Amino acid sequence: GVPSLQRVTPSMLKAHNGRRNKQSGQVMPAWSAYQGKVYNITPYLPYHPGGEGELRRAAGKDGEKLFNEVHPWVNWDNMLSECVVGILVPEPYAEE
Ligand code: HEM
């Protein structure tokens, strides 16, 4: 079916770094942003031809620059279309 996209703020993206969260003790999924979309890269980690460690460098952040430095010919959007979790939106701010 049509996936429902969530709005992901930069701080939410940063929290999804694939590492253990010190407060909750849970291992966070690894998310990475590419062209304004946020992907769960966790299921792809064991399959990445460049190795899990390399892919993890993009976890919790925008991975576009790293990705394009290494393999601009690879079609991220096609490969991870099933792994889209949402769209990147600005951080909400409180009015002073
Ligand atoms: C290789 C996919 C992110 C580093 C590859 C290859 C694919 C791929 C398909 C094989 C390319 C080829 O042989 O032409 C992806 C996808 C990514 C991603 C879908 C994003 C979700 C990254 C990131 C890095 C990285 C963020 C580095 C920080 C590498 C390296 C190789 C590689 C170094 C070369 C491995 C080798 O030839 O020995 N990746 N990649 N990748 N990737 Fe990625």
Looking at residue 95, what is its pLDDT? 80
Q: How many helices (H) and strands (E) does the chain have?
A: 4, 5
Total residue length of the chain: 96
Pocket of ligand 1 (CB under 6 A): 41, 44, 48-50, 54-55, 57-58, 63, 66-67, 70-71, 74, 76, 79-80
Contact 59, 32 (CB under 8 A): yes
- Res 1 pLDDT > 60: no
By most ligand atoms within 8 Å of CB, the mutation choice from 70, 76, 79 for ligand 1 is: 70
Q: Read off the amino acid at residue 96.
A: E
Q: What is the pLDDT of residues 15-44, one digit of tens each?
A: 999 999 999 999 999 999 999 999 999 999
Percent of the chain with pLDDT over 70: 97
Q: Which residue has the higher pLDDT, 96 or 62?
A: 62
Give the ipTM of the model, two decimals please: 0.87
Average pLDDT, the chain: 95
Q: Calculate how far, in angstroms, residue 43's C-alpha sits from the geometric centre of ligand 1.
A: 15
Residue ranges and CATH numbers for the domains of the chain are: 6-88 (3.10.120.10)
